């Protein structure tokens, strides 16, 4: 496995991360680095452990071992609420839109954890649809709008590291494209992003590097520039 | 004398007022239960004892410290609520990861302990608590005589219920509470202190019971068992309204108080059971309750 990462200090350094659901051992040692401003993807088959990796970084899984350092601070013993306060925000795979909250309340729910977050106006510039639906029940939105809401609300918080779990899953191609542009834009604004994606063609347009996850381990790392050359290998990993 | 369906009108209005007052207590108590159940997923069987504590703390403030009704209306709920928060932190919080049954057993056991302690200290005969001077007497409404204090009970309960509804449905804190009720893990992952929210919510639900207790003190005798008689009916109200529904608890509480009052007029034999009959019918037809979300 060749290291293709640029040589800046990592913003997030994950070392030998292990995680369990109850007795079931799911992550067997994940090691990844993410540098400030990078977009890094986790690719892998269904059930490989991508979601669990994000959850373990976020601290929503109780039983986890190894090391997760963010800005030099160890997160592994912290609860998710303290991890969020350090400036990490998570957009879960199932989106987590609250049905008992309207769109506005959903947007305003996550507390601001650091200065420099988006204003409501900036969120509406990025996702104009949301502005029209402010008083609709959160779960009455279309799938695409719910995804925009789920991402929009974490941009308000000022978190600089975003964990996005399959943001394009199940969405129409035109929405997938819109979300791709949005990630591109966030990247130019200096956000650091870990992106879990099934669709690596979409991911390839924005990512710097790709980590391949298999059975709870990182088995390979591919720089985006070398993606074309590694297509065969990638297809084998992903079983597509 | 005017009659309605062969019943003297004054008797009918009198029972309706009584029904409305009972309804006010049902509403306030079931509201507290609904708020607690929504977030903690615990059926708070201590609720009746906490209502009794409200009445007792009001009585103690007056008897031992000379603190009157109006300050007690604020102080007693706070005191009962704080005791509730201590109980939540020390005991209930250990049960969230276990089956519902454990929470039920714990809160039921606590109710027995609290009631036992008060019975030991104060006996079962009950103490009286005078109606505050401002609210003694009554007004003649033309069609009936309204004792001022009873009117106040209905008004105060309505205001507190509506205030609670407003706080939960319309404020930022209420949005946290609703969100945490749906998905506490995600709310916590946003950086919100969910355990603190849970403690405060329990304290608030319990304070509502304490508030109802102070309101009740001048009407019913202050006695250690006053809650255990009432709470059975209140649980039936909660089942009918639907666990965890705020508005459902309030509307059902008042409605069932009225129905109970009417039954006393038209078919007194059924007055004590009518609520349970309605509960059985609702459970058969709409198991989640009239306002409950189907699971
Ligand atoms: N809540 C859970 N309880 C038990 N096992 C789980 C749970 N969630 C996921 N798993 C298991 O953990 C493994 C990794 O899942 P996940 O991280 O969701 O994979 P991915 O996101 O890569 O599709 C799978 O085998 C899955 O069955
Ligand atoms: Mg997943």
ipTM (interface predicted TM): 0.92
Cβ atoms B208, B31 nearer than 8 A: yes
pLDDT of residue A7: 56
Residue that the structure tokens 């006695």 belong to: B223
- Cβ neighbours for B32, distance < 8 A, ≥ 6 positions apart: B44, B47, B204, B205, B206, B207, B208, B209, B212
The yes-or-no verdict on residue A240 having pLDDT over 80 is no
Question: Which residue among A23, A49, A163, A195 has the greatest number of ligand 1 atoms within 8 angstroms of its CB, and so is best to mutate?
Answer: A49
Q: Searching chain A, which residue's CA lies closest to the CA of residue B173? A: A109
Q: Which atom of ligand 1 is nearest to the CA of A46?
A: 23
Short-list B196, B146, B140, B206, CA closest to B173? B196
Contacts of B183 in chain A (CB under 8 A): 96, 98
pTM assigned to the model: 0.89
- Cβ neighbours for B147, distance < 8 A, ≥ 6 positions apart: B137, B138
Cβ atoms A84, A128 nearer than 8 A: no
Neighbouring-strand partners of residue A24: A21
pLDDT of residue A79: 95
Burial class (CB in 10 A: 0-12, 13-18, 19+), B177: buried
Q: Which helix (H) or strand (E) holds B187?
A: helix B184-189
Residue contact A109–B183, C-beta within 8 A: no
The yes-or-no verdict on residue A208 having pLDDT over 80 is yes
Cα(A179)–Cα(A171) distance, rounded to whole angstroms? 10
Tokens representing residue B115 in the block: 């009631």
The yes-or-no verdict on residue A19 having pLDDT over 90 is yes
Tokens representing residue B231 in the block: 């709470």
Task: Select from 3.40.50, 1.10.1220, 2.60.40, 1.10.3470 the CATH code of B7-285.
Answer: 1.10.3470
pLDDT mean over B262-268: 86
pLDDT of residue B2: 66
The yes-or-no verdict on residue B295 having pLDDT over 50 is no
The yes-or-no verdict on residue B264 having pLDDT over 90 is no
Tokens representing residue A142 in the block: 């279309």
Cα(B84)–Cα(B76) distance, rounded to whole angstroms? 12
The yes-or-no verdict on residue B12 having pLDDT over 60 is yes
Q: What is the mean pLDDT of chain B?
A: 91
Burial class (CB in 10 A: 0-12, 13-18, 19+), B285: exposed
Contacts of B188 in chain A (CB under 8 A): 60, 79-81
A52 CA distance to ligand 1 middle (Å): 6
A141 CA distance to ligand 2 middle (Å): 22
Short-list A112, A240, A43, A189, CA closest to B190? A112
| Max mean pLDDT range (A127-131, A233-237, B72-76) | B72-76
Provide the edge-to-edge strand list for the sheet that holds A39-43: A88-91, A161-165, A192-196, A39-43, A209-214, A217-223
Strands (E), chain A: 12-21, 24-34, 39-43, 63-70, 73-74, 88-91, 161-165, 192-196, 209-214, 217-223
**pLDDT tens-digit map of B226-260:** 998 899 899 999 889 887 788 888 999 999 999 99
Residue that the structure tokens 């400036």 belong to: A87
Can you tell me whether residue B286 is helix, strand or coil? coil
Short-list A103, A19, A94, A93, CA closest to A57? A19
The yes-or-no verdict on residue B173 having pLDDT over 50 is yes
Residue contact A111–B175, C-beta within 8 A: no
Does the C-beta of A50 come closer than 6 Å to ligand 1?
yes
pLDDT of residue B171: 94
- Band (pLDDT 50/70/90 cuts) for residue B293 is low
Cβ atoms A99, A138 nearer than 8 A: yes
Contacts of A89 in chain B (CB under 8 A): 190
Cα(A150)–Cα(A162) distance, rounded to whole angstroms? 12
The yes-or-no verdict on residue B187 having pLDDT over 80 is yes
Percent of chain B with pLDDT over 90: 64
Cα(B254)–Cα(B18) distance, rounded to whole angstroms? 11
- Band (pLDDT 50/70/90 cuts) for residue A4 is low
The yes-or-no verdict on residue A2 having pLDDT over 60 is no
Which of A87-101, A203-217, B239-253 has the least mean pLDDT? B239-253
Residue contact B182–A79, C-beta within 8 A: no
Cα(A181)–Cα(A196) distance, rounded to whole angstroms? 16
pLDDT mean over B69-93: 97
Closest partner residue to A109 (CB to CB) among B175, B181, B185 is: B175
Cα(A110)–Cα(A114) distance, rounded to whole angstroms? 12
Cα(A57)–Cα(A69) distance, rounded to whole angstroms? 9
pLDDT mean over A57-80: 95
pLDDT of residue A1: 46
The yes-or-no verdict on residue A233 having pLDDT over 90 is no
Cα(A19)–Cα(A40) distance, rounded to whole angstroms? 21
Count how many residues are written for chain A.
240
Count how many residues are written for chain B.
295
Can you tell me whether residue A212 is helix, strand or coil? strand
Neighbouring-strand partners of residue A164: A91, A195
Segments making up each domain of chain B, as ranges: 7-285
- Cβ neighbours for B141, distance < 8 A, ≥ 6 positions apart: none
The yes-or-no verdict on residue B60 having pLDDT over 90 is yes
Does the C-beta of A26 come closer than 6 Å to ligand 1?
yes
- Band (pLDDT 50/70/90 cuts) for residue A81 is very high
Percent of chain A with pLDDT over 90: 78
- Strand A24-34 relative to strand A12-21, pairing: antiparallel
Phi-psi region of A116 (alpha: psi -120 to 50; beta: other; left: phi over 0): left
Q: What are phi and psi of B144, to 5 degrees?
A: -165, 165
B175 CA distance to ligand 1 middle (Å): 30
Q: Nearest-5° angle of CA B87, CA B93, CA B95? A: 115
Interface probe for B, chosen from A21, A81, A86, A93 (most Cβ of B below 10 Å), is A81
For B226-254, the DSSP string reads HHHHHHHHHHHHHHHH-TT-HHHHHHHHH
**pLDDT tens-digit map of B29-38:** 999 999 998 8
**Beta-carbon neighbour count of residue A86 at 10 Å?**
17
Contacts of A105 in chain B (CB under 8 A): 175
More confident residue, A206 or B52: B52
pLDDT mean over A34-58: 96
Cβ atoms B114, B45 nearer than 8 A: no
**pLDDT tens-digit map of B106-125:** 999 999 999 999 999 998 88
Short-list A200, A204, A202, CA closest to A236? A200
Q: Identify residues of A whose CB sits under 8 angstroms from chain B CBs.
A: 58-60, 79-85, 89-90, 92, 96, 98-101, 105, 108-111, 113, 154, 157
Neighbouring-strand partners of residue A162: A89, A193
Q: What is the mean pLDDT of chain A?
A: 92
Fold category of A12-87+160-238 in CATH: Rossmann fold (3.40.50)
Question: Which residue among A50, A52, A213 has the greatest number of ligand 1 atoms within 8 angstroms of its CB, and so is best to mutate?
Answer: A52
């Amino acid at each position: 496995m060749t290291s293709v990462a640029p040589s800046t200090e990592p913003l997030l350094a994950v070392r030998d991360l292990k995680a369990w659901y109850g007795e079931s051992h799911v992550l067997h040692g994940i090691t990844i680095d993410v540098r400030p401003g990078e977009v890094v993807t986790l690719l892998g088959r269904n059930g490989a452990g991508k979601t669990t990796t994000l959850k373990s970084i976020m601290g929503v899984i109780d039983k986890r071992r190894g090391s997760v350092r963010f800005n030099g601070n160890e997160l592994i013993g912290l609860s998710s609420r303290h991890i969020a306060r350090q400036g990490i925000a998570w957009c879960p795979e199932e989106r987590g839109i609250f049905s008992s909250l309207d769109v506005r309340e959903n947007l305003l729910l996550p507390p601001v954890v650091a200065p420099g977050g988006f204003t409501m106006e900036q969120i509406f510039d990025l996702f104009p649809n949301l502005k029209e639906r402010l008083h609709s029940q959160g779960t009455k939105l279309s799938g695409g709008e719910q995804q925009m809401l789920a991402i929009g609300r974490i941009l308000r918080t000022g978190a600089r590291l975003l964990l996005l779990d399959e943001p394009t899953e199940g969405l129409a191609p035109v929405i997938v494209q819109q979300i791709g542009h949005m990630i591109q834009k966030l990247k130019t604004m200096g956000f650091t992003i870990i992106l879990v994606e099934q669709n690596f063609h979409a991911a390839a347009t924005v990512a710097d590097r790709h980590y391949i996850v298999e059975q709870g381990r990182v088995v390979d790392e591919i720089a985006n520039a070398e993606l074309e050359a590694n297509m065969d290998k990638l297809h084998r990993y992903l079983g597509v | 004398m005017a009659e309605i369906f062969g019943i003297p009108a004054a008797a009918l209005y009198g029972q309706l007022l009584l029904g409305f007052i009972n309804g006010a207590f049902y509403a306030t108590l079931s509201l507290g239960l609904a708020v607690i159940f929504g977030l903690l997923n615990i059926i708070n069987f201590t609720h009746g004892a906490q209502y009794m504590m409200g009445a007792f703390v009001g009585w103690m403030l007056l008897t031992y410290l000379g603190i009157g009704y109006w300050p007690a209306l604020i102080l007693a709920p706070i005191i009962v609520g704080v005791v509730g928060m201590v109980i939540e932190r020390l005991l209930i919080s250990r049960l969230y990861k276990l089956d519902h049954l454990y929470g039920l057993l714990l809160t039921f056991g606590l109710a027995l302990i609290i009631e036992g302690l008060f019975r030991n200290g104060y006996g079962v005969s009950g103490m009286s608590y005078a109606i505050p001077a401002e609210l003694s007497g009554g007004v003649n409404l033309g069609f009936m005589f309204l004792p001022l204090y009873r009117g106040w009970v209905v008004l105060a309960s309505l205001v507190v219920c509506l205030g609670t509804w407003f706080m939960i449905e319309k404020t930022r804190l209420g949005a946290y509470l609703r969100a945490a009720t749906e998905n506490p893990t995600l709310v916590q992952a946003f950086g919100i202190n969910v355990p603190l929210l849970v403690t405060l919510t329990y304290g608030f639900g319990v304070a509502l019971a304490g508030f109802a207790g102070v309101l009740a003190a001048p009407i019913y005798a202050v006695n250690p068992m006053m809650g255990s008689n009432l709470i059975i009916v209140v649980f039936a109200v909660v089942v009918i309204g639907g666990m965890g529904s705020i508005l459902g608890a309030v509307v059902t509480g008042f409605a069932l108080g009225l129905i109970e009052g009417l039954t006393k007029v038209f078919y007194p034999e059924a007055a004590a059971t009518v609520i349970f009959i309605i509960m059985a019918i609702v459970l058969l037809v709409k198991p989640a309750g009239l306002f409950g979300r189907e699971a």
